Structure 1
Amino acid sequence: MNLMKWGAAALAVGLMNLAVPAQAAGGKTLEAVKARGVLNCTGHDGSYLGFAEVDDKGNWKGMDIDLCRAVATAVLGDPSKLKIVPISWAQRWPSVQSGDVDIIIKASGGTLSRDTELGLQFSMSYYLGTTKVMAHKELNIASLKDADGGSICLPAGTSIEQQAAAYAQKLGIKLEPVVIEKTEELEQAYFSKRCDMYAQWGPVLAIARAAKGKVEDHVILPDVLAVEPEVFIMRQGDDNWVDVANWTLTALLFAEQEGINSKNVDELKAKPTSPQIAKFLGAAPGMGKGLGLSDDWAYNLIKKMGNYSEIFDRNLGKDSPYKMDRELTNLWNNGGVLFPLVID
């Protein structure tokens, strides 16, 4: 009898729990950004070509900058409601922990120590980058195993320092590190031959070599020191803000997957091709309430910023000076590893 009563009571409590959302929409960071009316997002202390650049008029551009604009558009409906905070690699973590920035979008990888020791949380990956090494061609270095005793330029305050050290140890060679924080100074050190080699994120090496106009004088070695998923990074303890980041990235990828872009988004909103597309574009309800956003936030995002491929192409790809191929940073159905979450 008592067991039956206990079981009935437990069932009632369980049904009540099912009826209550696991988390109320609108976490602390989201509410703070809405109240401020501006998203504070990371820039760079100089230029990180293709990802965060400042032109001669002080305007920011780049892949990471446009992704900051994407989050601002999702939350506030306007990509201009954004403050770019120029910070160094080492300043990333204290800046987000102190609240000086709301989110880090700065070619930053998700690592165990950043999660468990620094108290950070990550989004899905928005770019899969390989760490590689460039060398002066005249040195006749075919691979890193030929470089024993050579000097190597490394960006300070990044995981590349550890990656280069671990890879050298694995090969049984010794390298002389030259560690410099600012990208411009780091590249100057390499191109002025202060260093024999330069370890960096693969896209940055390719862009730096092309920018110098002397591709034939430098060789990017076949060695892959590490593969690093680049992610949006936030403070721990605000799951709603992590959700906003992930669904913003999903919206960009989903739109590309479904052929929705800044040019046809109005037509598709007016005449959705499926209930899923209707919900996604805010023609039917349900896209925003659980996140604390408006139901048309994804429509605004694609209308004003474009889908993932549009952002990539104008900053890194065919419509940029760098003409980079997407490689692994393609969608799952086009030979890459990126994918959206399911919109149901």
Structure 2
Amino acid sequence: MFHKSIKILIAASAVAASMVAGTQAFAQSATVKTIQERGTLLCSGHNGSYFGFVEVNDKNEWKGLDIDLCRALTTAVLGDPGKAQIVPLSWAQRFPSLQSGDVDIVIKATGWTMGRDTELGLQFSLPYFFGGTQLMAHGDLGVTDATGLEGGTVCVEAGTTIERIVADYLKTLGVEHTMVSYEKAAELRSAYLANRCDAFAGWGPNLAVLRATEIDNPDAHIILNDQLSSEPIAAAMRQGDEGFVDTVNWMLASLLLAEEHGVTQANVEEMAANPPNPTVARLLGATPGIGERLGLRETWVREMIAATGNFAEIYDRNLGANSPYKLDRGLNNLWSHGGVLYAPILD
């Protein structure tokens, strides 16, 4: 009996030690420590503009959904969105740049795929956007779906999952075609508008943005009925730093929780002073825990919402009602509003 009790005590001690080690892992995230010592967070940009997500305005300032998420993360880690350093990258450069340490994280309309997850030494966050690959064609072709592209030319941006998705889809349909890849988004758009391509393969939201804002006669172009994929978009990080993955996940979750509970850029200080419920109290640091468990300040969510707004505010500013693009949220709404976005439980 005595030996059995000793074994139980040893096992209990091991579990407790494991729990303590897990807590320490959050506080000792190597990536967070590096960012804090450097004083800047290196985040992916684009070598041009990827409208609505990563773009440069007429004042040469970065903007977009992904840029705002980078700034939200920078506020969480460093307390100041202005300490985000945006590094321009092509699609092909983003993963080598992450692996080499030239950037700390890739938040750049990046699809979560098995190949990237298992072969490139990457880890992914919770999905923060869902969008699928589609095709847009010149209306005078009289094409309504991909089968009408037999013998045609399809243009696509190099280094993206879209190349493989389109090739696999058209091969499955038995549609003979020529695929032409372009390194830069601007070159791809120019090629399509100059009729060097019969169809433009791209992410559905971007095709809608292009047709709405950069084409003189939107009615002369049709987004085909085919939905080639439904792709979860997530932040990419290097494998091996679970504490940083947790930080990024709870940054995204906190933006969604703030939206769900009506915490906005305008009312966050009032909500922090007078939380309407226990979840908001935990979210905004009135009840301690959200900072300590991640090795951050207890006020990091409050500061983040004050800097960037909640997820709805970020979406509307860059893609939705308050943007030039007026894209409905659709699947990218909260679960409680007919979408698929949700946050884990904040206990």
Corresponding letter in the other structure for 2:342: F
After TM superposition, list the pairs within 5 Å mapping 1:243-254 onto structure 2. Answer: 243-254=246-257
Contact 1:26 1:291 in 2 (8 A): no
After TM superposition, list the pairs within 5 Å mapping 1:108-147 onto structure 2. Answer: 108-147=110-149
Which shows bigger deviation, 201-210 or 279-288?
A: 279-288
Q: 1:334 aligns with which of 334, 337, 343?
A: 337
Change (3 A) 1:219 1:14: same
- Give the equivalent residue in structure 1 for 2:307: 304
Does the alignment pair 1:262 with 2:265? yes
- Give the equivalent residue in structure 1 for 2:161: 159
Corresponding letter in the other structure for 1:231: A
Inter-partner Cα distance in structure 1 for 2:346 and 2:19: 21
Change (3 A) 1:245 1:19: closer
> Residues 214-250 of structure 1: CA distance to partner in whole angstroms, max 9, x if unpaired?
2101000010111110000000000111111100000
- Give the equivalent residue in structure 1 for 2:210: 208
Inter-partner Cα distance in structure 2 for 1:144 and 1:254: 40
Cα shift at 1:5: 5.6
Inter-partner Cα distance in structure 2 for 1:276 and 1:3: 45
The residue matched to 2:71 in structure 1 has which SS? helix
Cα shift at 1:172: 1.1
Corresponding letter in the other structure for 1:153: C
Change (3 A) 1:20 1:148: same
Does the alignment pair 1:225 with 2:242? no
Inter-partner Cα distance in structure 2 for 1:27 and 1:256: 28
The residue matched to 1:125 in structure 2 has which SS? coil
The residue matched to 2:124 in structure 1 has which SS? strand
The residue matched to 1:226 in structure 2 has which SS? coil
Q: Identity of paired residues, percent?
A: 50
Change (3 A) 1:285 1:23: closer
Does the alignment pair 1:271 with 2:274? yes
Cα shift at 1:30: 0.3
- Give the equivalent residue in structure 2 for 1:32: 34
- Give the equivalent residue in structure 2 for 1:51: 53
Does the alignment pair 1:8 with 2:8? yes
Cα shift at 1:281: 0.7
Alignment TM-score, normalising by the size of structure 2: 0.96
Contact 1:37 1:81 in 2 (8 A): yes
Cα shift at 1:323: 0.6
After TM superposition, list the pairs within 5 Å mapping 1:54-69 onto structure 2. Answer: 54-69=56-71
Contact 1:40 1:83 in 2 (8 A): yes
Corresponding letter in the other structure for 2:249: N
Inter-partner Cα distance in structure 1 for 2:133 and 2:294: 35
Corresponding letter in the other structure for 1:8: I
Inter-partner Cα distance in structure 2 for 1:242 and 1:58: 31
List runs of 5+ in structure 1 lacking aligned partners: none
Inter-partner Cα distance in structure 2 for 1:285 and 1:9: 31
Runs (4+) of structure 1 exceeding 3 A deviation are 5-19
Inter-partner Cα distance in structure 2 for 1:18 and 1:116: 26
Cα shift at 1:17: 3.2
Cα shift at 1:276: 2.1
CA-based RMSD of the aligned residues comes to 1.4
Q: 1:169 aligns with which of 168, 171, 177?
A: 171
- Give the equivalent residue in structure 1 for 2:43: 41
Does the alignment pair 1:238 with 2:261? no
- Give the equivalent residue in structure 2 for 1:102: 104
Inter-partner Cα distance in structure 2 for 1:101 and 1:30: 13
- Give the equivalent residue in structure 2 for 1:319: 322
Corresponding letter in the other structure for 1:38: T
Alignment TM-score, normalising by the size of structure 1: 0.97
> Residues 67-101 of structure 1: CA distance to partner in whole angstroms, max 9, x if unpaired?
11111111111111111000000000111001110
Inter-partner Cα distance in structure 1 for 2:289 and 2:74: 20
List runs of 5+ in structure 2 lacking aligned partners: none
Cα shift at 1:174: 1.3
The residue matched to 2:151 in structure 1 has which SS? coil
Inter-partner Cα distance in structure 2 for 1:106 and 1:12: 44
Inter-partner Cα distance in structure 1 for 2:15 and 2:55: 53
Corresponding letter in the other structure for 2:104: D
Cα shift at 1:6: 5.8
Cα shift at 1:309: 0.4
Which shows bigger deviation, 271-280 or 309-318?
A: 271-280
